[in-house]
Structure 1
Amino acid sequence: MKKKIYLLSASAILLGSCQSSATKEAVKHQQLAEEAIAIHDEIMPQIAHFDKTTVKIDSILENLGQVLTKDPQADTAAVRIDLITLKSNLEAATDNMMTWMKEYNPDSTTVSYQEGEIEKIKAMRKQFEDVSLESNKKLGKL
């Protein structure tokens, strides 16, 4: 009888331990998924601004001669290259976000998957910050 009580006690302890571990894993997964979505929500609104900026760049490129009226010494070839590069960078940031959103699986219960997604979205936030600064710098003088 004592053996049965010991076995039941040991089983209960092991079961409780497994449930606790599973609960901790689920909580960690949930926290990571929420963090990924929070970063997404932080940078996603910039896409509309990036889209407007690419339209503005197209307009400037079509009327590049007007740059010379503001600054007769301007190197329009260099301005063209800068604007084309900026437009490419804006589009790359937007495309990266669209790809991430399409491929992201918030229901994945693997903590390592969510940690990897956090790294991706943080890198994307850095990309958005960099291209936003580049945009302000290059378009600020036009």
Structure 2
Amino acid sequence: MKKTLYLIAIALFTLIACKNDPTPEEVALQIQMESYDLLKSEAMKVHDEIMPKMGVLMELKGELVANENDNELSEIATAAENLKASHDAMMSWMQDYSEKFPYGEPTPETKEALDEKLPILEQEVKEIVQLKDRTMLAIENAQELLKK
């Protein structure tokens, strides 16, 4: 992602160099706007990777509960709880994200608005990436238990 930001920055500087000399503030604002758009794209890309897994989470949870036995009760209960927690976390993340960044909301066009929203967006991306990792681990653990 850093390479992408770097390439966009170079492209912006090149484009801007061909126009009337923009102020450093205009260049910085444009770079900030591009970063914002990239972060929103990254959040949706990760969301789109794990959203289809929500059905898998619930299916695996059902299978785990159906295959409970006394020897593995705590392992299965923990795995089922992790699957449910991942599902619930995804639902919460989506609600929170959509409240902070409503669908169709345009990119902020002022430095002040970007300074306010960029850190929030960076945190949302960090959270969805962590959620993806947690979800994939929960799925892997449940599948391993079901193989036993």
TM-score bin (small chain): 0.7 to 0.9
| Structure 1, unpaired ranges of 5+ | 1-11, 62-75
The 1-side partners of 2:66 and 2:123 are apart by 39
Distance in 2 (alpha carbons) for counterparts of 1:133 and 1:54 = 12
Deviations 1:61-90 (A, max 9, x none): 3xxxxxxxxxxxxxx423121111111000
For 1:34 and 1:78, the matched residues in 2 are separated by: 45
For 1:55 and 1:127, locate their aligned partners in 2 and report how far apart those are by CA, in whole Å.
Answer: 19
- Structure 2: runs of 5+ lacking an equivalent: 1-19, 109-113
Shift of 1:25: 0.9
CA contact (8 A) 2:64 2:142 kept: no
Q: CA deviation at 1:103?
A: 0.3
Alignment counterpart, residue 142 of structure 2, candidates 102, 118, 135: 135
TM-superposition CA deviations, 1:19-64 (whole Å, max 9, x none): 2222111110000010011001001111101111122223223xxx
Matching residue's letter, 2:54: I
Give 2:73's aligned residue: 80
Pairing 1:118–2:133 present: no
CA distance in 1, matches of 2:120, 2:27: 21
Report the Cα offset of residue 18 of structure 1.
2.3
Q: Aligned partners of 2:140 and 2:62: how far apart in 1? A: 18
For residues 71 and 86 of structure 2, the distance between their equivalents in structure 1, rounded to whole angstroms, comes to 23
User: Which residue pairs with 1:89 in the alignment?
Assistant: 82
State the percentage of identical aligned residues: 21
Which position in structure 2 is the counterpart of 1:65? none
Q: Which runs of 4+ in 1 moved over 6 A?
A: none
What is the alpha-carbon distance in structure 1 between the residues aligned to residue 71 and residue 134 of structure 2?
23
Q: Provide the C-alpha distance between the structure 2 equivalents of 1:93 and 1:31, rounded to a whole number of angstroms.
A: 25
Give 1:135 deviation, angstroms.
Answer: 1.0
- How many residue pairs are counted as aligned between the two chains? 115
